[in-house]
């Protein structure tokens, strides 16, 4: 499976897809990007007159790139989105800098372990100025439906 195929295999679609591009991936890490558009549904009520991306959405973006996309890649020939599902099993994320509408973020994840279809990764998110936005751990599992 090539880099260009990974996003197409995700079990998400707009408005809940938070991956634009996978920049690089190998058996130890993945790097991807997402730009938060100004008309994302969650900005409407997440701080009146001063929209900020909710931490839960930043966590989801890190999990989609660092766990779901990475897991699909690591499963290689086994993955089939019609017979597999993915689920985040845990996260521990610290937030350091806000993300505003129209900001592009880069997520880098490094594998802690991958066995029995369970993936645990260290994740970090940076803005376009290379400022650390958030970092932590995400874990998830691929399961047969």
Q: What are the residue numbers of the active site? A: 46
Report whether 100 contacts 52 (CB < 8 A).
Answer: yes
Cβ neighbours of residue 95 closer than 8 Å, sequence gap 6 or more: 55, 58, 133, 134
Q: What are the structure tokens assigned to 30, written together?
A: 């993945």
Q: 74: helix, coil or strand?
A: helix
Q: What is the helix (H) or strand (E) element at residue 75, kind and residue range? A: helix 70-75
Q: How crowded is residue 59: how many other Cβ atoms within 10 Å of its Cβ?
A: 21
């Amino acid at each position: 499976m090539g880099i260009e195929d990974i996003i197409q295999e995700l079990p998400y679609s707009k408005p809940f897809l938070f991956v634009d591009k996978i920049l690089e991936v190998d058996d130890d890490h993945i790097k991807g990007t997402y730009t938060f558009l100004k008309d994302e549904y969650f900005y409407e009520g997440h701080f009146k007159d001063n929209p900020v991306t909710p931490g839960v959405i930043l966590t989801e973006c890190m999990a989609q790139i660092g766990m779901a996309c990475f897991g699909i890649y690591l499963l290689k020939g086994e993955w089939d989105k019609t017979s597999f599902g993915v689920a985040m099993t845990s996260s521990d994320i610290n937030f350091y800098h806000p993300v505003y509408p129209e900001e592009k973020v880069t997520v880098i994840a490094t594998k802690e372990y991958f066995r029995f279809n369970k993936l645990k990764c260290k994740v970090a998110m940076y803005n376009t100025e290379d400022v650390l936005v958030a970092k932590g751990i995400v874990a998830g599992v691929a399961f047969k439906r």
